[in-house]
Structure 1
Amino acid sequence: MAARGNGSENSGEDISSVMGFSGFGKKARTFDLDAIFEQTRRTAIERSQRILEDRQKAELSAGPSSDASSASKHQEKPSASTSRQQASDDSSDSSDSEPIGPPLPPGLSAQPEEEEDELIGPPLPPGYGGSRADDDDDDDDDDDGDNDTAEDDDDPVKKIPDTHEITLQHGTKTVSALGLDPSGARLVTGGYDYDVKFWDFAGMDAALHAFRSLQPCECHQIRSLQYSITGDVILVVAGNSQAKVLDRDGFQVLECVKGDQYIVDMANTKGHTAMLNGGCWHPKIKEEFLTCSNDGTVRTWDLNSDKKHKSVFKPRSLQGKRVTPTCCTYSRDGKLIAAGCQDGTIQIWDRNLSVHTKFHCRQAHTPSTDTCCLTFSYDGTTLASRGGDDTLKTWDLRNFRKPLNVATGLTTYFPMTDCCFSPDDKLLVTGTSVKRDEGNGKLVFFDRESFKKVYEIEVASASVVRCLWHPKLNQIMVGTGNGLAKVYYDPVKSQRGAKLCVVKNKRKEKQAETLTQDYIITPHALPMFREARQRSTRKQLEKDRLDPMKSHKPEPPVSGPGRGGRVAAHGGTLSSYIVKNIALDKTDDSNPREAILRHARDAAENPYWVAPAYTQTQPEPVFADEESEDEEADKEPEWKKRKI
């Protein structure tokens, strides 16, 4: 039995060694929890005292200003060794007076002993370890800084980014359309010169050149440009009856269908039949956009359907007659559609109910004037209208009979003059027009609540037609009547946009590169077909210098009568040569025989070309006398005589 018991014990040890259990089959350990807690508490106290010592040393070395406070703390607090002794003695008496929990983090000032016992809650953050008086002073300073910041936040004029500007040269005619994508990376401009230009802020340098220019609507003035809410397509509204949708690179995605102009009821046609006046994208649905036209309709379209419009809204006058809408827009939530009409009315429909208007103001602006722009505030409760009667008005949708505020004296000569709200919804911006050489066009800022003119910017010596305040970039884009597109920004308050391109240096112009013949490497070709290996340009120039033909100096121009077969400057042409040598020749060539035989004696005495070769075989020439020739001519009959 004893042997069996020993064997079982040995087998248990073997199993424990194989399985990795160190205490297999042994009794579990017991721990003295009181002793462990006491040791942990003492360690925490020692660490706290060490941290307090380091803090006091740092305050002593900070300067004379902190000496007094550190000295007072030294008087109140005992030394480190004494503290440890007292802590150990007190711990034996009672544990209620000791701090409970982890030690204080480094950087915190010590509290007096009287206050340490009563301290409840988390420790104070860094920077609040001074005396009460110091804390009060710091609080006063912080309050002053908060007041200054609050004043800056309350004053919307200080948020206007107008410290810097850049100028983009679109062309020479009016910039009548501006569009920025939602991210603010690309700007698109259109004008009366039929051009649409694309500007990439991240890709431009300080030269500020557009990377693409095109004419999407041929010979029609561009009236409106807008990016969709996703920024992947652009709505182009021009002076024709068919709006177009382009992608980011300028390629056509959709062209709206044209309606039948011989149908009286415009609701029965598939599209517009007259010139477009404006258009915009739906703020929530990326495939839907809106257009208005001189045919008296406002139509919504679907990007995926180019066969027909989506719905038709027909504004009517008080007598029920057709009225031309001059501008249109969606509300911020996309549930309302607003249109400003030529008879001075503003008509608003529910997007899903196209028959009757939901809001209607008959005398919003002066009749027979073009309402230039309608825009909703960011909170969706206020509508701003820019009228052709030189006014700017705001309207409350909850009480649409009378305007909230009216600003007058804002001259406009263009049917697309803009107005827009600031990103914080506290300011309203619009532009003014001027005649040529009669002042500067201005960008005017109004307070939304009081409607007082709080600020203005003189843009250029031309009319301000378009203005756009991008909420993400916090930059203001302005289109003028002399072909300029200006961007106003602030290096501190603005983000990206124009700040990306002004810091880049202008690229050097590339020199005209000479065309070189491509060298084709054919390692397995026969020697007779193998091309010679290309040499460097320097060696080729040295070789050409040794060639007398290639390095021959050009002959200078001839001066004087000419030499070596070259004619002088005054005889360079055939006509001048003939005039000089033939027409002005004074010799008498009336007898051609004498002119020919004039050099006969010299040729007979000094033969050079033909005579030496025929000296042996050439017979003597025999010439008849002139008298005998005359006698023979007299003997000839009349019919043989040559007529003169």
Structure 2
Amino acid sequence: MNRGKIAFGKINLNLSTIGVDEVQQPQNADASGSTGFKKIDNAKLMQRLDEVSDDLESQHIKDIMGISGFGKKSAKSFDINEQIAKARKIAQVKSVEQEIQHEEDSESDNEIIGPMPTAFKEQKDAPKFATENDEDSDENEGEDDEEDDEKMLERRIPNTHEVQMQHGSRAVLALAGDPSGARMVSGSIDYDMCFWDFAGMDASMHSFRNLQPCENYPIRGLNYSVTGDMILVVSGNSQAKVLDRDGFEKMECVKGDQYISDMARTKGHTAQLTSGCWHPFTKEEFLTAALDGTLRIWQGLRVKEQKSVIKTRAVGGLRTTPSACAYNKDATLIAAGCTDGSIQAWDTRKMFVNTTLCLRKAHQKDVEITSIVFSYLGNQIATRSNDETMKLWDLRALKEPLHTWSNLYSRYDTTDCCFSPDDRILVTGESLPKGPQVANLYFYSTKTFEEVKRIPVANSHIIKTLWHPKLNQLFVSCGNGLVKCYYDEKRSIRGAKLCVVKTHRKKKYTEMGGVSQIITPHALPMFRQEKSKSSRTKLEKERLDPVKSRRPDLPITSGQGGRVASSGGTLSSYVIRNLGLSKRVDDDQDPREAILKYAKEAEENPYWIAPAYKKTQPTPIFSESNNSGEPQSKKSKDE
């Protein structure tokens, strides 16, 4: 038998001769001109699939056992007819499987079932040549994508619902949230610090603790540690404090010597604090900035001295004041915004002698940079200043800002800005100017630099903004003592949502009416009215009264005094008197005589035993007494 043998070359396989036509047969064109494929019953498809799989399995066994051919000659050549038969069977299996999938998914008849035709495949893989219409369509698609991104950014803002918490009546300068999202603290210019527990609050939204940690100094900044068990309190004083989770003091920084000119030789700050923050991952390390022109790193709660001192310098080496400071997320940089309008940064892995990054004239001179914030990725930095601007910077090219937003009036030197958790939105608030009636909260895109949204908050200044990454809730502090919380019903979790569903139960108060007192100093004692005493004095007087205070009986002790002495001298006399068995019996009286006193009365007026046996009681016969004194004769046993 002559067989065609091929050693090298290309095999052109025509699928039309393999037998696919048996499975796929074109339908007659409809009236509309649409074409399709005939459907085969599931039973026939499954039967044909079993036949093909049996043939493939038997052929596979032959190949493994080497029945088809042996030797060197057969290894170098192969049979074309055999390969065509194999390809035909594989194509049949694939076509049947695709038709079964088509039946199960109930797709339309116009879809292609089986192997893709070569003409269609070449048309699909053919290169596309750009035309003018295609360019216009690409531009339109790009604009549509930008519009969709803007809409998506607006949806990411959690502002479907809002809740307000009343801190007090003065401006709330500080706001901080627990890393886990369970608690929040706020501090105001009236020296008060409030603790808010979302799990314990109800719909009334009252704080569970209110204290003044720094006496008569306003609270300028609050910050939770990385573990959430400590709070850094930055006040108008020169000494920062560290409180625990419940507000008890754990540490107070040392005050420096103000008569030493070299600030590096003092043990602490000598002027008012301006800002402070915790280390991103070291538990007991934090950073503070003050008006003495230094940044100080503190480490450890037991050692009350700073670890390092950083001096901020203006042009010419003169001292300048840092008004804001921050760590980046991996703690490799410390950045500070100064009153000379500069942004200075130091590398924590080197000595703090020279700045690693320094940008002069970043903001207007002699105006405080109220906030400096690193993005979550760490590539960008945002600054807010009292020159009514907010700027976005790229740390890789710090010479020029990426964008500058102006006309953002700021009145307080603690007004800040913050990034969204995905770094796509930058949020800040404005102080209330003279003209408008409501202050707004602004949301800007960090990519397009356009305004995404504007939310009217209150008819007062907006000072602090906090976008919590875990809760996905936005907290805003105002100048009228309000703290507002914005959240999304679907995208926000826990936090204020736990408090809204809890109903507030009113306490029942007892009504008390005051009685007017007439003072008559010359009245007689029997008509004189007692002077009104304080409740504490009245309680002390009632406490001394054994009747009103319901004092229990004194214990029985040996010796004189106490309850025993009041009724006799022994315990038995006390028991007899209290049980009512007899009247008081003196210790020197004979008890037999005391009982015989009532013998005559009992005989004349019997009460207990005699009346019961009066009718049946025999007459008693008593033996006669022998007055002579002679002994009676003994009776015999017979008697």
Distance 1:510 1:134 in 2: 75
TM alignment of 1:164-563, pairs within 5 A:
164-352=161-349, 353-435=351-433, 438-511=436-509
- Hey, what's the Cα distance between the residues in 2 that align with 1:442 and 1:528? 86
Residues 1:425 and 1:521: Cα distance change in structure 2 (over 3 Å)? farther
After superposition, the Cα gap between the structure-2 partners of 1:257 and 1:438, relative to the gap in structure 1 and judged at 3 Å, is same
Deviations 1:437-483 (Å, cap 9, x if unpaired)?
A: 84211111111122222211110000100001111111110000000
- CA-CA distance at 1:118 after TM superposition: 3.5
Pick from 16, 40, 43: which aligns with 1:77?
A: 43
Q: Tell me which residue corresponds to 1:129.
A: 105
C-alpha change, 1:130 and 1:116, in structure 2 (3 Å) is: farther
Deviations 1:142-193 (A, max 9, x none): xxxxx99x94797312100011000000000001000001111101010011
Q: In 1, are the aligned partners of 2:52 and 2:93 still within 8 Å (CA)?
A: no
Contact 1:271 1:308 in 2 (8 A): yes
Secondary structure of 2:423's counterpart equals coil
Query: What does residue 160 of structure 2 align with?
Result: 163
| Alpha-carbon distance in structure 1 between the residues aligned to 2:424 and 2:475 | 18
Give the 3 Å change call, closer, same or farther, for CA 496–296 of structure 1 in structure 2.
Answer: same
Counterpart contact for 2:372–2:384, Cα < 8 Å:
yes
**Amino acid in structure 2 at the alignment position of 1:498:** A
Alpha-carbon shift at residue 128 of structure 1 (Å)? 6.0
SS of equivalent residue, structure 1 residue 409: coil
| Unpaired segments ≥5 residues, structure 1 | 1-68, 101-112, 137-146, 531-644
Residue type of the alignment partner of 2:266: T
- Whole-angstrom distance in 2 between the partners of 1:192 and 1:426: 32
Q: What is the identity, as a one-letter code, of the residue corresponding to 1:130?
A: S
Instruction: Describe how 1:81-92 pairs up with structure 2 within 5 A.
Output: none
Counterpart of 1:34? none
Q: Displacement of 1:393 after TM fit? A: 0.5
Amino-acid identity (%)? 47
Judge which range, 357-366 or 427-436, deviates more: 427-436
1:351 to partner: Cα distance: 1.7
1:76–1:265 CA distance, 2 compared to 1 (3 A)? closer
- Which runs of structure 2 are paired with 1:56-75 in the superposition (5 Å)? 75=41
Rounded to whole Å, the distance in 1 between the matches of 2:367 and 2:306 is 28
- In the aligned structure 1, how far is the partner of 2:54 from the partner of 2:362? 88
Shift of 1:123: 13
Q: 1:452 to 1:76 in 2, by over 3 A?
A: closer
Contact 1:348 1:359 in 2 (8 A): yes
What is the identity, as a one-letter code, of the residue corresponding to 2:441?
A: L
1:551 is matched with which residue?
Answer: none
Amino acid at match of 1:503: V
Higher deviation after alignment, 297-306 or 324-333: 297-306
CA–CA distance in structure 2, aligned partners of residues 267 and 156 of structure 1: 47
The structure-2 alpha-carbon separation of the partners of 1:97 and 1:502, relative to structure 1 and needing over 3 Å to count, comes to farther
Let me know the Cα RMSD of the aligned residues.
4.0
Shift of 1:363: 0.3
| 1:293 to partner: Cα distance | 0.3
Pick closer, same or farther for the CA change 1:457–1:154 going to 2, 3 Å. Answer: closer
Unaligned runs of 5+ in 2: 1-35, 62-88, 113-143, 513-538, 540-547, 555-573, 580-639
TM-score normalized by the length of structure 1: 0.61
Residues 131 and 453 of structure 1: is their aligned pair in 2 closer, same or farther, counting only changes over 3 Å?
Answer: closer
**Does the 8 Å contact 1:437/1:461 carry over to 2?**
no
Residue 285 (structure 1) shift:
1.1
Equivalent residue letter for 2:155 = K
**How far apart, in 2, do the equivalents of 1:484 and 1:127 lie?**
63
Instruction: Count the aligned residue pairs.
Output: 431
What's the TM-score, normalizing by structure 2?
0.61
1:574 aligns with: none
Describe the SS at the equivalent of 2:369. Answer: coil
Task: State the one-letter code of the partner of 1:410.
Answer: L
Please give the alpha-carbon distance, in whole angstroms, between the structure 2 residues aligned to 1:450 and 1:499.
Answer: 32
- Residues 500/315 of structure 1: CA separation in 2 closer, same or farther (3 Å cut): same
Amino acid at match of 1:454: V
Match of 1:544 in 2: none
Q: Deviations over 1:243-295 (max 9, x none)?
A: 00111100011110100010000000000011000100111212111100011
Preserved CA contact (<8 Å) 1:292 1:325: yes
Give the counterpart letter for 1:308 in structure 2.
Answer: E
Question: Post-superposition shift, 1:398?
Answer: 1.6
Structure with more of its chain in helix, by fraction? 1
Q: Which runs of structure 2 are paired with 1:590-605 in the superposition (5 Å)? A: none
Q: CA deviation at 1:527?
A: 11
